Structure formats: C-alpha cells, structure tokens
A and B are shown apart, each in its own frame.
Chain A
Amino acid sequence: RKEVEQDPGPFNVPEGATVAFNCTYSNSASQSFFWYRQDCRKEPKLLMSVYSSGNEDGRFTAQLNRASQYISLLIRDSKLSDSATYLCVVNLPTGANNLFFGTGTRLTVIP
C-alpha cells in the first residue's frame, strides 16, 4: 500500500470554478501534512501546511481528518495561474524529516 495516495486527475475546470482534491495517507503516526504545488518542469513549492483545525489562505482551504486519514485542498474562484500539479505530502516520524509525496493531481484551469 502506498504511503500517500492521490487521484492523479487530470482535473479540467473553467475559470472561476471551485475544485477539491483529496489525499489519503496510510500511517496513522504521520505528524505533519502539506500541500505543494509543482509547475511543469519546475521544482515543488510549498503551497500551504495543513493544520489539525484546518486552515485557509486566500482562495485555498486545507482540511485534515485524522480519524479517516485524509487531507483535502479546496480552491475557490480558480484562476488560469492555478494550473499545476498539486502534491499531497505527509511527514512520517521515522527518523529524520521524512516526507512522503503523493504522485500529484494535475489541474488545468480553462479560460
């Protein structure tokens, strides 16, 4: 079983739409959670950390459900510039800072 699983998509949505991505993780001891964004042929960049109580940053909302071991990312009012691959990332307490990445969900926002 993979440590982190995501729907690879692709998600093709019109500008202004709301889109949600889910991610599940297998290890209940996971300690910290993140969403990274990766543009084509570029490095992953931190989009937001995910806090237990859920958190919002502008048009982006992240939620964590420890009981069901899933993380979600909601993007409201999608912009063309939101087109990217969104990586769900989980940090396991197995020694050093050990991040496990999902394969990513590809989003394309269409004009």
Chain B
Amino acid sequence: ETGVTQTPRHLVMGMTNKKSLKCEQHLGHNAMYWYKQSAKKPLELMFVYSLEERVENNSVPSRFSPECPNSSHLFLHLHTLQPEDSALYLCASSQDAGSGIEDTQYFGPGTRLTVL
C-alpha cells in the first residue's frame, strides 16, 4: 500500500543532531497529521494541518517543528531531541480535518526514531 509514505523508516540520532522526517500522501487529501506512539502509551496527536495551514498544536515542545509546503507533503524537523523522544512517529492524512466518519484518517508506516 502506498497511500501514505514516510521516510526514513528508521532513524538514530544524537541529542545535538538536526534531522527531518518526511511524509507524502497520494490520496488527494486536504488534511495531514503527525502522531507520536511511545511504548505502552496511546497514540498522541502532535500537529494537524488543513490545506497547508496548521490548525492544531497539542502543546508539543519547540524542538519539534512541522512544515507543510503543500497538501501532499508534511515534514517534521527535529533538533536537540531528548532520549525520551524516542518513539514511532506516524503521519496520517484524511480528506478534510472534520470530525465525521467521512474524514477517516489513513496512516503511513511510521519512522522509528531512537535518540541517543
């Protein structure tokens, strides 16, 4: 399935590094999301973009910086991360950023991030 793709699939970085995660959706959707999934915790919504505008930021530390240059691409720029930021970072997209069943979210395969 190639509806939502993410690169890289795995990333190991030091606390002083700067890296970026990339997400691309091929579904013609207007909304894109970043989630964090840590071990034994539910998925946590980080950011929501609708038509390239950020519409939600769930109190995410500034060391995570999202960018949405167009409705098909979403980036998460990382800098000075902490070991507790190690997690699976999932991108998702939906037709629109509404709350109805028609705006079902579809997930990419995720980037497994390890911060040393």
Contacts and interface: CB of A to CB of B under 8 A. Distances in A.
Nearest to B105: A99
Interface string A80-103: 000000010001110111111111
Interface residues of A, number: 27
Nearest to A29: B99
A45 interface: yes
A97 B106 contact: no
B42 A101 contact: yes
Contact of A95 (B42, B43, B55): B55
Q: What interface size band does chain B fall in?
A: 20 to 34
22 contacts: A31-B100, A32-B100, A41-B112, A42-B109, A42-B110, A43-B90, A44-B90, A45-B107, A49-B101, A91-B100, A93-B99, A95-B56, A96-B31, A96-B48, A97-B31, A97-B97, A97-B98, A97-B103, A97-B105, A98-B45, A101-B43, A103-B42
